[in-house]
């Protein structure tokens, strides 16, 4: 017990002495550093590419025949510059230009042929058209007016005058394998049963060229060829500044035995090419010539941004020549099945086909209905130069590519010199100057339609919903998006259509709407849709004159 008591006393004594001791000096120290976590970087997703081509109408130009800017009788870059305001003056508030947003130039590379599809240099321009600096000036002037420019890219073949082919004639040359050579004539026909093998006088060998002997096919089984054409693409996009390409003869790059078109290797090449050019410029646009049935054309949909609808073009032309609206509607619906995003390109005719006015045998009313159908329909429209004034042209090809008819003056106002070929005999009556001031002219019909398409996005990317009609010769369609609804009506026949009704089983429209006529002349009051958007036997309140067309705005 004493031991415990003594221990307690000692503890208390220690506590007492500690409390009496002087305080230890306070040492100021920095507060401990606080390590903050690194800020998480804000993720900014890369914006989607601008699909500018869905919002414009293109115009195809054969440079040699469009306008001569220097008086030597050959169309050129300076000539196009002088006529840009005819296409688009850059002011969206004016209606006296054509409203064009894009130009497709047929081949501009050096070539020994008038057409340019046998290229001798992929890195330069045809000196007959001007210099590279003048071409860049054209790009600059076009871009000032918000006009994009795409050029023909001839991937499948070159000219026999190309230095690559000239070198390849030597079996020891590094370029020999850039083309397809054979010591003996294989005698295998080309894709459409034509002679595809041509004897070369320099070496006695045979080379493969499906179009003709002056255009030997490149050998894409050689990776050096593929790499070079990638470089060509990059050059025009990056160093020159074009906005894209129209791809010529896309179907034939690779042959697989007797299969010489649409091979899996060809389709894969374009998919690889698309990845390449999108890396160079993600806003690049390409449109492909895959001239075959739609089922095959659709296979190229991952390799190019758009593809020309050849079947649809024939259906529109033939069904406005001999009235058959149901054929047009079905053709559009079929195209939309394969391309539901409406990323296909439409046209009436091009540099390889009979001009549409020749098909119509000079009937301006039929030309107007054809224009109405494709310029108000889904897809990206292309106008072939001179189509908007009704130029004529039948084969051979030179007659499809005659001088643009600017006026009734000598040489159709194309040149003060001697033109590279004569103007079509129709130029004194069929020309721009004669139609400028005529409200009902074909030219002003095109201007009105293109400018309406530019003003109304629904005509560019809206849904395409056909009506049925009690009058089988009228073309009735609803174009609709989240912002607007337009009804298209066209009488495709030479006879008046009386008492016509239209019906639709369902649509996004519900209730009562007023109708505003934005194209055509007539009185339309109102229209009512049922709860499911249906309308049954709506009576069109006017008789439809021969070839009469309407665009009706449906609004609350």
Question: Domains of the chain, with CATH numbers?
Answer: 52-156+218-455 (3.20.20.80), 462-555 (2.60.40.1180)
- pLDDT of res. 18: 41
Catalytic site residue from 118, 243, 248, 343: 248
Task: State the CB neighbour count (10 A cutoff) for residue 203.
Answer: 15
Predicted structure pTM score: 0.91
- pLDDT of res. 296: 96
| CB contact at 8 A, 126 and 111 | yes
Q: How far apart are CA 310 and CA 292, in angstroms?
A: 7
| CB contact at 8 A, 253 and 265 | yes
Catalytic site residue from 262, 289, 343, 388: 289
Task: Measure CA 161 to chain center.
Answer: 31
**Cis bond upstream, residue 49 (ω within 30):** no
Helices (H), 59-177: 63-66, 77-82, 84-87, 132-144, 163-168
- pLDDT of res. 6: 43
- Please count the CA atoms within 13 angstroms of the CA of 347 that sit on its side-chain side: 25
Per the structure block, which two tokens stand in for 186?
């294989």
Nearest-CA neighbor of 198 among 211, 259, 219, 222?
A: 211
Q: Scanning the structure block, which residue is given the tokens 């398409």?
A: 453
DSSP string, 451-494: HHHHH-HHHHHSEEEEPEESSTTEEEEEEE-SS-EEEEEEE-SS
Q: How far apart are CA 231 and CA 208, in angstroms?
A: 24
289 is catalytic: yes
- pLDDT of res. 4: 38
Nearest-CA neighbor of 449 among 486, 498, 483?
A: 486
Q: How far apart are CA 276 and CA 54, in angstroms?
A: 22
- pLDDT of res. 258: 83
Nearest-CA neighbor of 435 among 392, 386, 382?
A: 386
Separate counts of helices (H) and strands (E) for the chain? 16, 20
Q: How far apart are CA 249 and CA 133, in angstroms?
A: 28
DSSP string, 159-199: -TTSHHHHHHTSTTSTTGGGB-EESS----B-TTS-B-EEE
Q: How far apart are CA 67 and CA 78, in angstroms?
A: 8
- pLDDT of res. 42: 55
Per the structure block, which two tokens stand in for 187?
């005698």
Per the structure block, which two tokens stand in for 536?
């049954």
Written as tens digits, the pLDDT of the chain (556 aa) is: 433 344 333 333 333 334 334 444 434 444 444 444 555 555 556 666 779 999 999 999 999 999 999 999 999 999 999 999 999 999 988 889 999 999 999 999 999 999 999 999 999 999 999 999 999 999 999 999 999 999 999 999 999 999 999 999 999 999 999 999 999 999 999 999 999 999 999 999 999 999 999 999 999 999 999 999 999 999 999 999 999 999 999 999 999 878 999 999 999 999 999 999 999 999 999 999 999 999 999 999 999 999 999 999 999 999 999 999 999 999 999 999 999 999 999 999 999 999 999 999 999 999 999 999 999 999 999 999 999 999 999 999 999 999 999 999 999 999 999 999 999 999 999 999 999 989 999 999 999 999 999 999 999 999 999 999 999 999 999 999 999 999 999 999 999 999 999 999 999 999 999 999 999 999 998 999 999 999 999 999 999 999 999 999 999 8
248 is catalytic: yes
């Amino acid at each position: 017990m004493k031991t415990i008591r003594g221990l307690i006393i000692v503890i208390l004594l220690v506590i007492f002495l500690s409390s009496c001791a002087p305080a230890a000096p306070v040492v100021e120290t920095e507060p401990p550093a606080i390590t903050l976590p690194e800020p998480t970087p804000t993720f900014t997703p890369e914006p989607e590419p601008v699909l500018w081509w869905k919002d414009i109408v293109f115009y195809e130009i054969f440079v040699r025949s469009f306008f001569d800017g220097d008086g030597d009788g050959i169309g050129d870059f300076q000539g196009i510059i002088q006529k840009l305001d005819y296409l688009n003056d850059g002011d969206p508030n004016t209606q006296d230009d054509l409203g064009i947003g894009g130009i497709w130039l047929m081949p501009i590379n050096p070539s020994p042929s008038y057409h340019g599809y046998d290229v001798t240099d992929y890195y330069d321009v045809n000196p007959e058209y001007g210099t590279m600096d003048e071409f860049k000036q054209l790009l600059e002037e076009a871009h000032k007016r918000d006009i994009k420019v795409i050029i023909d890219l001839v991937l499948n073949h070159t000219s026999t005058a190309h230095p690559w082919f000239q070198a390849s004639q030597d079996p020891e040359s590094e370029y020999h394998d850039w083309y397809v050579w054979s010591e003996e004539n294989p005698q295998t026909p080309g894709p459409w049963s034509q002679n595809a093998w041509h004897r070369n006088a320099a070496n006695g060998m045979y080379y493969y060229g499906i179009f003709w002997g002056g255009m030997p096919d490149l050998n894409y089984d050689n990776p050096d060829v593929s790499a070079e054409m990638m470089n060509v693409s990059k050059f025009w996009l990056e160093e020159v500044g074009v906005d894209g390409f129209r791809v010529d003869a896309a179907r034939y790059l690779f042959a697989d035995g007797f299969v010489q078109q649409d091979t899996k290797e060809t389709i894969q090449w374009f998919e690889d090419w698309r990845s390449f050019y999108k890396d160079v410029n993600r806003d690049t646009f390409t449109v492909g010539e895959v001239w075959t049935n739609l089922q095959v054309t659709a296979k190229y949909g991952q390799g190019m941004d758009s593809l020309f609808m050849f079947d649809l073009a024939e259906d529109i032309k033939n069904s406005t020549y001999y009235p058959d609206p149901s054929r047009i509607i079905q053709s559009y619906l079929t195209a939309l099945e394969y391309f539901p995003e409406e990323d296909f390109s439409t046209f009436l005719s091009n540099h390889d086909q009979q001009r549409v006015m020749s098909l119509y045998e000079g009937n301006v009313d039929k030309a107007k209905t054809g224009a109405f159908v494709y310029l108000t329909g889904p897809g990206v429209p292309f106008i072939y130069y001179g189509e908007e004034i009704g130029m004529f042209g039948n084969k051979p090809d030179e007659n499809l590519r005659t001088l643009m008819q600017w006026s009734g003056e000598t040489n159709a106002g194309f040149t003060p010199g001697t033109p590279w070929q004569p103007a079509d005999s129709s130029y004194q009556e069929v020309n721009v100057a004669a139609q400028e001031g005529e409200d009902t002219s074909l030219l002003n019909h095109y201007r009105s339609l293109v400018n309406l398409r530019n003003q109304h996005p629904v005509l560019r990317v809206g849904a395409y919903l056909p009506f049925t009609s009690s009058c089988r010769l009228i073309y009735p369609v609803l174009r609709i998006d989240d912002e607007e609804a337009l009804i298209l009506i066209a009488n495709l026949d030479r006879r008046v259509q009386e008492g016509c009704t239209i019906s639709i089983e369902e649509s996004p429209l519900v209730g009562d709407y007023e109708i505003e006529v934005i194209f055509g002349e007539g009185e339309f009051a109102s229209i009512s849709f049922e709860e499911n958007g249906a309308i049954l036997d709506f009576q069109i309140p006017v008789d439809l004159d021969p070839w009469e067309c309407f665009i009706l705005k449906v609004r609350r």
